[in-house]
């Protein structure tokens, strides 16, 4: 199954190569006098003679469809992104994301990172009452009132760093500058981080002639995972007007060659609109796939699934 996933994702990336090569042969930045006279109105992909800087804070609200198998026992977690949004309003979830890019000519460098925290604490104060017997002298019923609490914390994030190269552009209209397609190649290193903490607590007290309280018990589980991996990717841009653009970015990392046979992928479809000479706003839908397995102390663990949801952001250009 892993090899099939790798093949599909690599083919997805390589399928863009013929178009990109064609773009490199036919695409060129406008060299007309009018374009030079209105330099600030040119598209970013056509300003190859100058340095360009982009800073893009964004908010991603991902839902989860994760499948986990531990020693042959499989469980699934399915949480919609709007349920995560509710937790953000309650203060149980936070996120920090952002992207920075620098371009000069066809080359560039980028950093893209996100960090998210989800924490939930639940106390069952009503609890459950269980009759355990009768008082040996008074012969009155004796019951135990159980209470419990659950605390779950998950932290996750990633950091992508690497070069970007503009393969070329292809105008889509005869004798027209717009619309135009742009093709970019991406590569680099990806650092993944995941931390999970789970605590289950149980306490109780008797109901009857004698009062006693149990000392309580708790179960704690921790899971940490940090590793670096290579990735390859591409970004396509459909520049509709001087203000409107649609982009599709895809990356594939790990290739089952690094830690825990890891394979992951990012897909993002976005629409951006320039609201001022140096500011774009954009909305997107982003999906992240991950798959890995571990074997430790006779415990076999495998995890696979998707994080996906809407994304909103702003791009500032300098």
Q: Profile the chain (318 residues) by mean pLDDT over runs of 10 residues.
A: 53 49 47 45 90 95 84 80 82 83 97 83 56 48 58 83 96 87 97 79 54 57 83 97 96 88 94 95 95 79 88 95
* Angle ∠(247,249,254) on CA atoms, nearest 5: 175
Q: How many Cα atoms occupy the beta-carbon half-sphere of 79 within 13 Å?
A: 14
Q: What is the pLDDT of residue 179?
A: 95
What integer pLDDT is reported at residue 247 of this predicted model? 98
pLDDT of residue 86: 83
For the chain, the first-to-last Cα distance in angstroms comes to: 45
Q: What is the DSSP string of 202-235?
A: EEEEEESSS--B---EEEEEEEEEEEEEEEEEEE
pLDDT given for residue 8 in this prediction: 53
Confidence (pTM): 0.76
Q: How many helices (H) and strands (E) does the chain have?
A: 4, 12
Distance CA 193, CA 195 (A): 7
Q: What is the pLDDT of residue 195?
A: 81
191: which DSSP letter?
Answer: E
Helix or strand (DSSP H, E) at 99: strand 93-104
pLDDT value of residue 217: 65
Question: DSSP 3-state assignment of 39?
Answer: helix
Domains of the chain with bracketed CATH: 2-117+159-188+229-317 (2.40.128)
pLDDT computed for residue 274 by the predictor: 96
Is 88 strand, coil or helix? helix
Conformational region of residue 275, where left means phi above 0, alpha means psi within -120 to 50, and beta covers everything else: alpha
Q: What's the pLDDT at 113?
A: 93
């Amino acid at each position: 199954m892993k090899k099939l996933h790798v093949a599909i994702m690599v083919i997805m990336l390589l399928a863009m190569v013929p178009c990109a090569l064609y773009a490199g042969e036919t695409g060129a930045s406008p060299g007309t006098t009018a374009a030079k006279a209105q330099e600030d109105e040119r598209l970013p992909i056509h300003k190859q003679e100058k340095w360009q800087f982009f800073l893009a804070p964004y908010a991603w609200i991902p839902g989860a469809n994760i499948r986990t198998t531990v020693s042959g026992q499989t469980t699934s977690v399915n949480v919609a992104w709007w349920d995560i949004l509710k937790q953000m309003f309650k203060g149980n979830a936070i996120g920090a994301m952002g992207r920075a890019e620098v371009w000069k000519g066809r080359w560039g460098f980028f950093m893209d990172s996100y960090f998210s925290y989800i924490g939930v604490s639940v106390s069952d104060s009503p609890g459950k009452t269980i009759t355990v017997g009768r008082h040996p002298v008074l012969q009155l019923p004796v019951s135990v009132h159980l209470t419990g609490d659950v605390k779950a914390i998950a932290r996750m994030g990633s950091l992508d760093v690497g070069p970007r190269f503009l393969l070329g552009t292809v105008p889509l209209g005869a004798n027209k500058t717009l619309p135009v397609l742009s093709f970019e190649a991406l590569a680099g290193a990806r650092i993944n981080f995941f931390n999970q903490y789970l605590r289950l607590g149980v306490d109780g007290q008797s109901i009857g002639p004698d009062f006693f309280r149990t000392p309580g018990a708790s179960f704690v589980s921790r899971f940490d995972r940090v590793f670096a991996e290579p990735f390859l990717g591409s970004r396509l841009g459909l520049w509709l007007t001087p203000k409107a653009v649609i982009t599709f970015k895809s990356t594939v990392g790990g290739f089952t060659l690094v830690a825990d046979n890891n394979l992951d992928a990012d897909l993002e479809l976005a629409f951006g609109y320039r609201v001022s000479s140096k500011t774009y706003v954009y909305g997107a839908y982003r999906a992240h796939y991950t798959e890995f397995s571990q074997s430790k102390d006779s415990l076999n663990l495998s995890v696979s699934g998707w994080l996906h949801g809407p994304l909103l952001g702003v791009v500032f250009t300098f």
